[in-house]
Amino acid sequence: MGAFLLRRIVNYLVLITLATCLGYLLAASSLSPREYFAQRQPPPPVASVNATLNQLNLNDKTPLEDRFAHWAKGVVTGDLGKTIDDTSVSAEMGRRMGVTLRLVLFGTISGALVGVALGFISAIRQYRPSDHTITFLSFLVLSTPVFLLAVLLKIGTVKINQAAGTTLLPYTGETTAGLAGGWFRHLVDRGQHLVVPTLSLMLGQAALFSRYQRSAMLDVLGADYIRTARATGMRRGPALVKHGLRTALIPMATLFAYQMGMLLTGVTFTEKIFGWHGMGEWFVDSIGRQDVNAVAAMVLFTAVLILIAGLLSDIAHALLDPRVRD
Amino acid sequence: MSDDAVLEVTDLHVSFPGEKGRPLAAVRGLSYQVRRGETLAIVGESGSGKSVSSMAAIGLLPTNAKVTGSVRFRGRELLGLNDKEMSRIRGAGIAMVFQDPLSALTPVYRVGEAIAAAIRVHREVTSDAAMRRAVELLELVGIPDPARRALAFPHEFSGGMRQRVMIAMAIANDPDVIIADEPTTALDVTVQAQILEVLATAKQATGAAIVLITHDLGVVAGFADRAAVMYAGRPVETAAVEELFAAPKMPYTAGLLSSLPRLDAGRGVRLRSIPGAPPSLAELGAGCPFAPRCAFAVDLCRTTEPELLEIGQGRAAACHRTGEGLDLMAGPSGDSGLADQDSDTAPEAASDAEGAPTEPEAPAKPEAAAVAEPIVGAEPVLTVRDLIKHHPLTKGSIIRRRIGTVRAVDGVSLDIAAGTTLALVGESGSGKTTTVMEILRLRTPQGGSISVLGQDLEALNQGRGVRRRAQPVRAGIAAVFQDPLASLDPRLPVGDLLAEPLRTHGHGKTAGRVRELLEMVGLEASHANRFPREFSGGQRQRVAIARALALEPRLVVLDEPVSALDVSVRAGILNLLADLQRELGLAYLFVSHDLAVVRHVADRVAVLNLGRIVEYGDADSVFEDPRHPYTRALLSAVPVPDPVVERQRERIVLPGDPPSPVVLDGDAEALRGCRFRSRCPLYAALEKPEARELCESTDPALTPVGDADRSAACHHLDAWVPALVQSGTVA
Ligand code: SF4
Ligand code: SF4
């Protein structure tokens, strides 16, 4: 297992490097930082624009290879370059990473748990009203774009807050600005802020997982080993969970990890709509600002995240299924 | 008598909702009782209701099943109990052993955990105590090194080992009744013999009653005390096993018994076949369900279903004509309308059957010579020399690396003369299927040579125009496989299926030939418009045979052609194959794990073990006087459907599982000496160290034995040790 993981990690490092380099090259050749400066009012002199561009390693007059070499040298030493506004990309990323990870992590985990539970219920009550309801709702959610879902949630939250007469569930930003009180008060505040945005990510996840879990569970419902478990005297409920669900969870491990990666796209909308300053928001803004280094950093972040997810999925798969262990 | 019965089933009926609201009756009035320590066999073919009835008894049928009647366990009525109450009885009072242990064990739990869990469902013991008990149970069922193996997962066990685990699980809570549902189906014969011994051990250890559900009359003969034969959801005959086999009182039972190919019968004896196929539940009418297939049916049979009536001490039969003293085993005379489907060749066949040997004591040497005659001078249709097929064994699901070699076929030489049958026998992993596939591919073999119809495949595959030159060879060799449904395209009507090979080989007019083919295999010309799924299993296999014959091949490869078929339809197919061989002069390469069938069809036989032939030669001679220790063990493991013979037979039970043909890289030891050594009872019994040393150091080559054109690969063919025939050597 150890050797296997090591080989996996080496493989992944190669992939991350490739993805990031390609990401940089694409960004550097298609974005045009010069325009960003040229459009300023009043237009700055060309010489000063060139100077700034050179200093930021963004000058399109410098050959792409040279810019790439300069950037790559920095990356190797842990310096991701400067943003177009001459701040450190690494520092900005450090600030924003946690925000996004918090959303994605809570979104996928809660979504997976709820989805697995719904899928399980759906499967063992196949074609009964509860199954039909879950199926209908999950398709409804799946066919609603994330941004629409987020906006609807926002409206719903307003209603709830009005009904409660207080801001029970804040829905903008990560914290209440200028909040006084101890660390516990802050923690609760952050928790409250997390609810609605997480929900916007979680619903889609739960809907998706419930579909997969339902069919995985239906596959094992007729399995001989459940019959065996029942024949030893185990009752239906425990047999379905310990033998059925336990086995049907195996394919979910893979799904879980990759969904975590996929959610990075969904999180862009969520961050924008709920005013969270995370990586998704930054990515969209950076493209608008023709910010090559920031976009490349974002590619790196996504690649690392997806590949970590892949690694986790391998580990989870091996933990759940003895048949794939070496 | 009913006082000491632990399980008493009375008038059990089970039905499922069918199409258009008409319920399908799967079980229609089953009654039986078993006492502690007794074994009752419930015998039947697919759809007879034998498995459904046992699932009904322990309350594990789907909720839409309607169950009526009575099931009493130690006097307590089980039907109508709720899941909680039933769960207390399942596993503790009544335990089950299922078929196919691969899917019957949850893949994610260690086998020790699984057994411990079964214990803890019923008893409040610590998990340590349960685990210790699990290890004891594994030891009881003959798992070597049980403490370590308890930590293994089901996929790390062989089929036989998993079945032992299932039995350990079943006896974990000292049940009073063990219901074993086809416990040895799909296992190799040597493993089947082991599992039956383990079941006997389990029965001894628990004193439980066993309800053995099976289609295999050989197993019944050796293992059960009483038997109930089921047909179309009803018991049609119940009797003590000796009486049942000696004098069946119901035509279906009699037909089954006389249709079985037997190891202790001679070659070529014509089997009595039962026409038609077991009825499907949906098409049951009034009258005796067996009437359409029954040679004794009278008008009354078609209108009134006979009751199961007591006809003696512990005997009952359901037949209107039971009291008439008919000789059921002899078959009716002159009732050609209902004789089997290959009756068009009846006169010839009859004379053939008369001349054929009926018992091993009187081998019809002249007849064997007559069959062998065309071999002399006739060009062989298949010659295989030193065939080798190895493939690399890799490990790892994503990153594959080679860790060894699967020596699937490791130097096989065969000859088949025109018009004769060579049988390849062996257990799983012996290389018989790989050998056949190598031949059918018609490519240059990896090692050695193959020549089909006089054409060397290596030469054939060289140079230009390979396709064109290979065409006649392709047409000259055909194949029939085990599962006819899988090998026939379900979307094409049978007529098109038969015409297809004709068209690809450029025959213009096909309609006439299709009709001819259908008639040749005992089907009607009008069947050409039907689809494969509209046929029964036996009829589908007939279609597959017709398709194989379309291009007038000279060699037909038959890969387990009757293994997937119901017992009562096998005889018809075997008879058909025999007739076709005689009429068309076909040569057969017959692959089977069923030695009784092989005994029936083969002129020559090759016994395979680990990709090598260990014994080869004239079938009569090999079956009557097997010389290689493996052949001896294999033959002794096959149950004979005759309780008297079966109970007197000494059995050589081979230890362990059929070995795998895998040799890990760098494991030179595995290739040293005789490869059968690890399981060889003769080697184990050899006393002289020099003799053992020979087995350990030198790989025995096939050497001629006696005078009957035979050979065997063993250093000690003459050293016959009495210890070899001892039974009870379970691993
Ligand atoms: S009742 Fe009639 S049809 Fe049925 S088995 Fe007896 S003789 Fe045959
Ligand atoms: S050579 Fe030795 S080990 Fe091999 S079959 Fe003969 S006696 Fe057994």
CB-ligand 1 contact for B294 (6 Å cutoff): yes
Q: Which residue of B has its CA nearest to A221?
A: B62
Q: Please determine, for residue B101, whether its predicted confidence score (pLDDT) is greater than 70.
A: no
- Ligand 2 atom with least separation from CA of B682: 7
Residue of A nearest to B84 (CA): A235
Q: What are the pLDDT digits (tens) for A155-206?
A: 888 888 888 888 778 878 778 777 777 888 888 888 888 888 889 889 999 9
Question: Mean pLDDT across the stretch B686-708?
Answer: 85
d(CA B53, CA B73): 15
Q: In degrees rounded to 5, what are phi and psi of residue A134?
A: -60, -40
* Domain boundaries along the sequence of chain B: 5-215, 234-350
Ligand nearest to the CA of B630: 2
Reply yes or no on whether the pLDDT at B644 is more than 70. yes
Ligand 1 close to Cβ of residue B288 (< 6 A): yes
Cis, bond preceding A42 (omega within 30 deg of 0): yes
The distance in angstroms from the start CA to the end CA of chain A is 6
d(CA B628, CA B426): 13
Mean pLDDT, range A37-46, rounded to an integer:
82
Contact of A150 with A212, CB cutoff 8 Å: no
Determine the atom of ligand 2 nearest the C-alpha atom of B677.
Answer: 3
Residue A4: list chain B partners with CB under 8 A.
Answer: 396, 399
d(Cα B157, Cα A234) in Å, to the nearest integer?
Answer: 24
Q: A91-140 pLDDT, tens per residue?
A: 888 888 888 888 888 888 899 999 999 999 999 998 899 999 999 999 99
Ligand 2 centre from B435 Cα, in Å?
23
* Dihedral, B140, B144, B147, B149 alpha carbons, nearest 10: -110
- Contact assessment for residue B356 and residue B379, using Cβ atoms and an 8 Å cutoff: no
pLDDT of residue A245: 93
Q: Please give the C-alpha separations between residue B69 and each of B12, B72, B213, in angstroms, as whole numbers.
A: 4, 10, 20
Instruction: Calculate the alpha carbon distances from B547 to B382, B527, B588, B621 in Å.
Output: 21, 14, 15, 34
Candidate from A233, A321, A324 with C-beta closest to B88: A233
Q: Which pLDDT score is estimated for A138?
A: 93
At residue B435, the pLDDT reads: 92
Contact (Cβ atoms closer than 8 angstroms) between residue B513 and residue B546:
no
Ligand 1 and B297: CB distance under 6 A: yes
Closest ligand to Cα B654:
2
Q: Which residue of B has its CA nearest to A229?
A: B118
The string of DSSP letters for A13-29 reads HHHHHHHHHHHHHHHHH
Q: Which of B231, B304, B321, B326 to mutate to test the pocket of ligand 1 (most atoms within 8 A of CB)?
A: B321
Q: Between A234, A247, A324, which is nearest B87 by CB?
A: A234
The per-residue pLDDT for B378 is 62
Contact A225 B89 (CB under 8 A): no
User: Counting one residue from A and one from B, how many pairs have CB atoms under 8 Å apart?
Assistant: 83
> Ligand 1: which of B319, B322, B327 to mutate, judged by most atoms within 8 Å of the beta carbon?
B319
- Here the ipTM equals 0.79
Confidence of residue A289 (pLDDT cuts 50, 70, 90): confident
Whether B234-350 and B5-215 are alike in CATH topology: the answer is: yes
3-state helix, strand, coil in chain B (%, to 5): 40, 20, 40
Which tens digit of pLDDT belongs to each residue from B164-218?
Answer: 999 999 999 999 999 999 998 878 888 888 889 899 999 988 899 999 999 888 8
Which fold does the domain B234-350 belong to in CATH?
Rossmann fold (3.40.50)
Mean pLDDT, rounded, for B443-470: 87
Q: Do B107 and A323 touch (CB under 8 A)?
A: yes
The residue of A5, A128, A225 whose CB has the most chain B CBs within 10 angstroms, and thus the best one to mutate to test that interface, is A225
Query: Does B100 contact A224 at a Cβ distance shorter than 8 Å?
Result: yes
Chain B residue numbers with beta carbons less than 8 Å from the beta carbon of A246 are: 106, 108
| B421: Cβ contacts below 8 Å, ≥ 6 apart | B581, B587, B588, B589, B590, B601, B602, B603, B604
Distance B601 CA to ligand 2 centre (A): 28
d(CA B213, CA B41): 6
Question: What per-residue confidence (pLDDT) applies to A34?
Answer: 86
Min CA distance, A229 vs chain B (Å)?
8
Q: Which fold has domain B5-215?
A: Rossmann fold (3.40.50)
Instruction: Give the mean pLDDT of chain B.
Output: 83
- Cβ–Cβ of A7/B89 closer than 8 Å? no
Mutate to test the interface with A, among B106, B115, B157, B179 (most CBs of A within 10 A): B106
Q: What is the pLDDT, as a whole number, of residue B338? A: 39
> What is the token pair recorded at A139?
């398709």
- B interface mutation test: which of A1, A14, A232 has the most B CBs within 10 A? A232
Return the structure tokens found at B186. 């799909």
Instruction: Give the DSSP per-residue string, B653-680.
Output: PPPSPPPP-EEETT-GGGGSS-TTGGG-
What is the distance in A from the centroid of ligand 2 to the CA of B145?
Answer: 25
- pLDDT for the residue numbered B723: 47
Give CA–CA dist A273/A266, Å, rounded.
11
pLDDT score at B117: 93
Burial per residue of B358-372, b for 16 or more beta-carbon CB atoms within 10 angstroms, e otherwise: eeeeebbeebbeebb
Please tell me chain A's helix, strand, coil percentages from 3-state DSSP, rounded to the nearest 5. Answer: 80, 0, 20
What is the per-residue pLDDT for B489? 83
CA distance A254 to chain B (A): 14
The confidence score (pLDDT) of residue B349 equals: 34
Instruction: Give the tokens for residue B614.
Output: 């260990």
- Tell the residue nearest (CA) to atom 3 of ligand 2: B677
Expressed in angstroms and rounded, the spacing between residue A234 Cα and the centre of ligand 2 is: 48
- Residues B95, A231: C-beta atoms closer than 8 Å: yes
| Dihedral (Cα; B313, B315, B317, B320), 10-degree rounding | -20
Compute the distance between CA of residue A112 and CA of residue B455 in angstroms, rounded to an integer. 63
Atom of ligand 1 at shortest distance to CA of B252?
5
Contact predicate B651/B263, CB 8 Å? no
Report chain B's terminal Cα–Cα distance, integer Å: 38
Among A23-37, A287-301, B661-675, name the one with the lowest average pLDDT.
B661-675
Mark yes or no for CB contact B103/A225 under 8 Å. Answer: yes
Residue of B nearest to A5 (CA): B399
Ligand nearest to the backbone CA of B254: 1
Q: How confident is the model at residue A313 (pLDDT cuts 50, 70, 90)?
A: confident
Contact B173 A233 (CB under 8 A): yes
> Using one digit for the tens of pLDDT, what is the confidence trace for B556-589?
999 989 888 888 888 889 999 999 999 999 999 9
Q: Residue A195, Cα to own-chain centre: how many angstroms?
A: 16
- How far does the CA of residue B496 sit from the closest CA of chain A (Å)? 35
Q: Is B702 in the pocket of ligand 1 (CB under 6 A)?
A: no
- How confident is residue A238, by pLDDT bands cut at 50, 70 and 90? very high
Average pLDDT over residues A282-308: 87
